[in-house]
A and B are shown apart, each in its own frame.
Chain A
């Protein structure tokens, strides 16, 4: 019976293809845009996650995300260290400035200072050695920065960038997580960062620290907040705050529009085509009714037909998303892209259920077919 239903569907090749492609398009658009959205918003926490050793971030109360931070006063580190439940605390310096290469190529960059002693926040390296960070007038740059400042060129020792009036020799390429802003991430020693911090008089953008083993994170952060008036967040809370800040800027709206359009187009096309399929096969369905097929049997047949369309469409659409994501990841600025399984599960779930429901609406047509009409020529 199911085989019979699937043969009926495959026989009408044009409609079958239209429905499968419509579902595939919906699956592609929704998963592609949702995964881009998730990946981009995830990038708002890249530099927070990159300081792997720290799980406590303290900042000025007005700071809403990593990229727009108001520095703390210099004594803040000592203050944070004094709270029970804090194992250690260090200043974290981030400088937004401009760099240019020997050829004159300019870009805004994010300069991150890594403390020489603790090396907290030191990036993993793709090329070269991280120890190069701590050499005088040296820096390491992320792959996005290489692509932006040295387009089409591979890293070579001796490459330099100029920040203010100082030349920094690039000692390697880091594996710093891609930032939301897209600006190059340049790691230097904390001393170098402080020297190049001409925009601000303060040199503690954040205080990063680690909670003692067994300490209650909520209790410690609340204690810091009450006592200092600063914002004290766990790493996860800071990531979530940055995510929310960018979400509230309207960045996701374009993605939401495309996701909605994808869903509507895919489902409308599939539903409409399924309805046409049922109408054009009305004689066949009427004949099946007369020959003794019950409504539950016909419903099962149509469910099988819609499930085949959904499974094929979702498979093709998901394969397209995987292929485009893998292709995009080869570009330095998109290296943070990925397809979370949750996105696939939610998108495919919604499309699958709604498509089967749309097919279910077509079943109403079958219910309304009058068996006696079978004798009409």
Chain B
């Protein structure tokens, strides 16, 4: 069973003459234990596709299933609960809450699930230690470098042990060295036999981390290549 399976996904925005068809029948899969890159020029539909995969946006037609479960068949509340339990996110701009410490930010998915605050922050702090920013657990995001912030965001994506991690341009706001470092961390800590990682990126300097690369253009996946020389993750 694929971790992510998209079949003939179509999506348009607007109506009438202003309607824009962003996805034109996308077929996409991501496997467990692999890091799958989704690459392509700006406006080709990458972000729309991952929004649909994550259940943040509905498709006009086609079918999306995550680990065999069709999100469209779940109620709105169950979609949220599914996302909370099984998905982790890494954003381009980190999206850390400025009022919280690094550890509290990393603990947010656990707090959403109702875990006791102290236990959640402890678990998040431990994970920050594994990711090399344990010494900044009590720092506010504004006091962290871009690389450190992205590590905190990575901890937030991993802390509840999701089965799918979706990363949107995780290195776009970082210099090459920091980007490389974050991708190494992502590769070593996120890729897991029972977990899939989908990364949207423009940054061809980090393509060597991918197990598979799906090229997208004008609303369709043009071709998928397997990267046999991908950086080992385990």
Contacts and interface: CB of A to CB of B under 8 A. Distances in A.
Co-complex (A, B) = yes
Contacts of A283: 95
B47 A288 contact: no
B91 A284 contact: no
A4 B96 CA distance: 13
B72 interface: no
Contacts of B56: 290, 370-372, 374
Interface residues of A, number: 25
Contact of B97 (A284, A290, A377): A284
A3 B117 CA distance: 8
Given A8-B99, A375-B51, A375-B91, A292 B109 contact: yes
B98 to A, nearest CB: 6
Q: SS class of chain A's interface: helix, strand, loop or mixed?
A: helix
A290 B87 CA distance: 9
B99 A11 contact: yes
A4 B92 contact: no
A1 B93 CA distance: 23
Nearest to B46: A375
Interface stretch (B76-84, B176-184, B186-194, B223-231): B76-84
Contact of B50 (A288, A289, A370, A375): A375
Contacts of B51: 372, 375
Contacts of B85: 292
B130 interface: no
A287 B95 contact: yes
A1 B84 CA distance: 15
B100 A292 contact: no
A12 B111 CA distance: 21
With a 10 A CB-CB cut-off, give which of A288, A290, A375 has the most chain B CB atoms: A375
Interface residues of B, number: 33
A297 B114 CA distance: 10
Contacts, number: 76
B112 A377 contact: no
Contact of B81 (A288, A289, A292): A292
B117 A292 contact: no
Contact of B111 (A1, A289, A290, A374): A1
A227 interface: no
Interface in B32-61: 47, 50-51, 54, 56-57
A291 interface: yes
B168 interface: yes
Given A284-B98, A292-B109, 10 more contacts: A1-B111, A4-B117, A10-B99, A12-B99, A284-B95, A288-B108, A290-B54, A292-B84, A294-B77, A374-B91
Interface of A: 1, 3-4, 7-8, 10-12, 283-284, 287-294, 297, 370-372, 374-375, 377
Interface of B: 47, 50-51, 54, 56-57, 77, 80-81, 83-85, 89, 91-93, 95, 97-100, 104, 108-109, 111-114, 117, 156, 168-169, 172
15 contacts: A7-B100, A7-B104, A10-B99, A287-B95, A291-B156, A292-B80, A292-B84, A292-B112, A370-B56, A372-B51, A372-B56, A375-B51, A375-B91, A375-B92, A375-B168
